[in-house]
Amino acid sequence: MSLRLVSSKPSVIGVLDLQGGVQEHLEHLEAIGIPYKRVKQASDFTDLAGLIIPGGESTCIARLLDIFEMKDPIINAHRNGMKIWGTCAGTILLAKEVTGENSCLGLLDIVVERNGFGSQLDSFVCDAFIPCVASEPIPLTFIRAPKIIAAKNDVNILLKLEDYIAAVENESILATIFHPELTGCLAWHRYFAVKCGLNPSMDDKQEFFNNEWKTSSWMKHSRIA
């Protein structure tokens, strides 16, 4: 974590640490020089400029949010200015409507279909150009991803592919059905940090890609020896 001057403005991005790809996001936040922390209980929300709800199994994370009464702290922090970014399962948890089941947080006016592509054999990678996020095409990783079927009212579409929407945002929430934390691309984490009012470090060489990143980079947050 980099050193920051003490100020009253929230400067930390938290990663909801109940289940799923937590370390992968911590690794990216570290790479762009943003102070980060794991968020596991209501008292962890105090100084957050933003919260990332990571990929994982949305039914499991939803169940844990219920059991440990974490929904209200998230909704209240959001009301008080905390920005939120959901990746994959996170998108499902943020959606106002989930096809065939109840919504969880219901903060973002989108309709989502869980596991929209099929089985793991249908997981895939592709490249896409999203002008407001990066000036060149960036890699996207879809793992048993949901599909965003509709974006309503204040929600803007950032990326549409074939018959589904892959990334959306409104003023305070970003949602992506793919996993930017599973590639070396830092563009989405930078984009979210700026949305949170923070200043991610701008190393020219690292603007989009962390050249030191490997698929195993997250493991330094989970070493045994």
Partner 1 sequence: MDKNRYELNVQLAQMLKGGVIMDVTNVEQAKIAEEAGAVSVMALERVPADIRKDGGVARMSDPSMIAAIKKAVSIPVMAKARIGHFVEAQILEALRIDYIDESEVLTPADEECHIDKTKFSIPFVCGARNLGEALRRVAEGAAMIRTKGEAGTGNVVEAVRHMRTMNREIRQLAQMPVEEVTGFCKSNGIPYELALKVKELGRLPVVNFAAGGIATPADAALMMQLGCDGVFVGSGIFKSADPAKRARAIVKATAFFNDPQKVLEASMDLGEAMPGLEISQIPPEQILAERGW
Q: Catalytic site residue 196? A: no
Beta bridge partners of 126: 140
Spatial separation of the C-alpha atoms in residues 129 and 138, rounded to whole Å: 6
Q: Catalytic site residue 179? A: yes
> Of these, 2, 43, 102, 119, which contacts partner 1 (CB under 8 A)?
119
> Of these, 9, 43, 118, 171, which contacts partner 1 (CB under 8 A)?
118
Spatial separation of the C-alpha atoms in residues 149 and 152, rounded to whole Å: 10
Interface with partner 1 includes 30 (CB under 8 A)?
A: no
Q: Where are the beta strands (DSSP E) in 19-163?
A: 36-39, 48-53, 83-87, 95-98, 108-113, 124-128, 138-142, 147-151, 156-161
Contact 79, 32 (CB under 8 A): no
Interface with partner 1 includes 19 (CB under 8 A)?
A: yes
Count the residues of the shown chain that bind partner 1, applying the rule CB under 8 A.
44
Spatial separation of the C-alpha atoms in residues 24 and 213, rounded to whole Å: 11
Q: Kindly state the smallest distance separating residue 189's Cβ from partner 1, in Å.
A: 17
> Of these, 143, 165, 185, 198, which contacts partner 1 (CB under 8 A)?
143
Q: Catalytic site residue 97? A: no
Q: Alpha carbon 140 to chain centroid distance?
A: 13
Q: Kindly state the smallest distance separating residue 55's Cβ from partner 1, in Å.
A: 5
| Footprint of partner 1 (CB under 8 A) | 17-24, 40, 55-57, 59-60, 62-64, 67-68, 88-89, 114-115, 118-121, 123-125, 141, 143-144, 179, 182, 215-216, 218-220, 222-225
